[in-house]
Structure 1
Amino acid sequence: METPTNPTAIQHRIREGLSRIAMVMRADDWNRAKLAGINPTQLSILELLEGRKGGLSVKDIALHLAVSQPTATDSIGALERKGYVEKRQTANDRRGVSVGLTSEGVAALRAGGTVEGDAEQATGVLDGQEQEELLLTLVKMIRTLQEREAIPIQRMCASCRYFAPFVHTDAARPHHCNFVDAAFGQRELRIDCRDHETADPAIRAATWNAFVEG
């Protein structure tokens, strides 16, 4: 019998906690998808395509969402029939096709984002410092998953060629974004940025070391 003096490994208990939050987030996704008149997988595709002017291939969409290509193809087909996405010929390969978001798709995405979900409300209970620490923890976990190739490279500050960590003496705004040429703080770290450009592996590693060493 498990007791407070003989608990399971802390990693296991953290995973249990994250799984409970994931259940709520799935319910939130269903509610948001209903407002947009689609299902959660289709909503995830619209979110993934937002800000990607060149679109993504079906293969890349399946990879990012961790679904099979047939599943991605079916969902993309449903979105295409609704007019939310369109297939385009890639600029450097006439045989290549990318999937891009339409203006109708953007409108559907906005409709689904009008309600704050339970998971977001739960983060509102945390004070500012706790929110910042949680964000940093998530960045570290996502970066680990990226390096293990469990997930594709995400559009985070930590993997972006424009990110320069801890180059300013201002403790409130120590980082610099070379894309907009502006300083910013820990709370402004992005998990998914439209302007992201993936740095090469050597620069990513050096940037990450500078970030964690502070």
Structure 2
Amino acid sequence: MQQEGPLPADTAAPTVADGADLDRRLAAALERTGHAVRTLLWRQAYANGLSPIQTQLLLHLSGGARPPRSSDLAAEFDVSAATMSEALTALRRKELVRREPDPGDRRSHVLLLTDAGRRLAGELAHWSDPVTTWLGGAPEADKAGTLRFLLDLIARLHGTGVLAVARTCVTCRFFARAAHDDPELTHHCRLLDTPFGDAALRVDCAEHQPAGEA
């Protein structure tokens, strides 16, 4: 039977769209991708008897150069202090995380992984394998350009207050964009005095200092 009325938007014939429509579809694609990524992470979390935020905390603590305080983590994950305290208490109860006095402020404490927590974090790190397996076959130039595009989007969201924390190259005071004519090594890190290209842009840099910071 012939369908009456207009086709749904996702099955209608492609047309020349205006910029606003393209922007909406890009936002929708990012949301769909984010949903898939969250699903993969949640499956890994539940398989190990953890909540999603507990899993994210273990992964975050395994990659950080400087042990964070609970308040730092609350800002990082954009949750309340009470929510973060509850998640950390659960991880400490499971003997996956421990507290130690903060060397810079003896009144505070920093969080570190225990040996068991580090081992589990290593296993949890494979949550993204389905994504990275597909990405492994994608053209390098496409991946590098997409990384730059996404980091610029993160920087814009951070600048407008949507994201509380962004330790990316493009938000760092040491980053000099397009400082060189070489298209493969176009940017420059003033901290390391090193040229690099889009493919080497960092998503979470331990040496990051916010742009504009003295």
- After superposition, residues 139-178 of structure 1 pair within 5 angstroms as 139-178=151-190
Say which one has the larger Rg: 2
Alpha-carbon separation, structure 1, partners of 2:174 and 2:48: 34
Do the aligned partners of 2:69 and 2:109 also contact (CA within 8 Å) in 1?
A: yes
Structure 2 regions of 5+ residues with no counterpart? 1-5
Q: Confirm or deny that 1:49 pairs with 2:61.
A: yes
Residues 181-207 of structure 1: CA distance to partner in whole angstroms, max 9, x if unpaired?
43322111111123x23144268xxxx
Q: Confirm or deny that 1:198 pairs with 2:206.
A: no
- Superposition RMSD on alpha carbons, in Å? 2.8
Q: Partner residue of 2:199? A: 187
Residues 61-111 of structure 1: CA distance to partner in whole angstroms, max 9, x if unpaired?
122212232221111111112222222222343332332333332221111
Tell me the amino acid that sits aligned with residue 111 of structure 2: V
Q: Confirm or deny that 1:18 pairs with 2:30.
A: yes
Residues 152-190 of structure 1: CA distance to partner in whole angstroms, max 9, x if unpaired?
232211223443333344321223334444332211111
1:136 to partner: Cα distance: 1.1
Match of 1:60 among 72, 83, 96: 72
Q: Could you say what secondary structure the match of 1:88 adopts?
A: strand
Tell me the amino acid that sits aligned with residue 157 of structure 1: C
Do the aligned partners of 2:59 and 2:125 also contact (CA within 8 Å) in 1?
A: no
Q: Partner residue of 1:98? A: 110
Q: Could you say what secondary structure the match of 1:78 adopts?
A: helix
Q: Partner residue of 1:133? A: 145
Q: Could you say what secondary structure the match of 2:126 adopts?
A: coil
1:24 to partner: Cα distance: 1.0
Following superposition, which runs of at least 4 residues in structure 1 exceed 6 angstroms of deviation? none
Q: Partner residue of 2:3? A: none
Alpha-carbon separation, structure 1, partners of 2:102 and 2:127: 35
Do the aligned partners of 1:24 and 1:118 also contact (CA within 8 Å) in 2?
A: no
Q: Confirm or deny that 1:70 pairs with 2:63.
A: no
**Residues 174 and 15 (structure 1), Cα distance of their counterparts in 2 relative to 1, 3 Å cut:** closer
Residues 15-38 of structure 1: CA distance to partner in whole angstroms, max 9, x if unpaired?
211111112101210233356552
Moved more, 172-181 or 13-22: 172-181
Do the aligned partners of 1:24 and 1:119 also contact (CA within 8 Å) in 2?
A: no
Alpha-carbon separation, structure 1, partners of 2:71 and 2:41: 23
**Residues 126 and 106 (structure 1), Cα distance of their counterparts in 2 relative to 1, 3 Å cut:** same
Tell me the amino acid that sits aligned with residue 192 of structure 1: D
Alpha-carbon separation, structure 1, partners of 2:192 and 2:115: 26
Tell me the amino acid that sits aligned with residue 60 of structure 1: D
Alpha-carbon separation, structure 1, partners of 2:212 and 2:106: 29
Percent identity, aligned pairs only, is 26
What TM-score, normalized by structure 1, do the two folds share? 0.78
What TM-score, normalized by structure 2, do the two folds share? 0.78
Q: Confirm or deny that 1:109 pairs with 2:109.
A: no
Structure 1 regions of 5+ residues with no counterpart? 204-214
Moved more, 81-90 or 118-127: 118-127
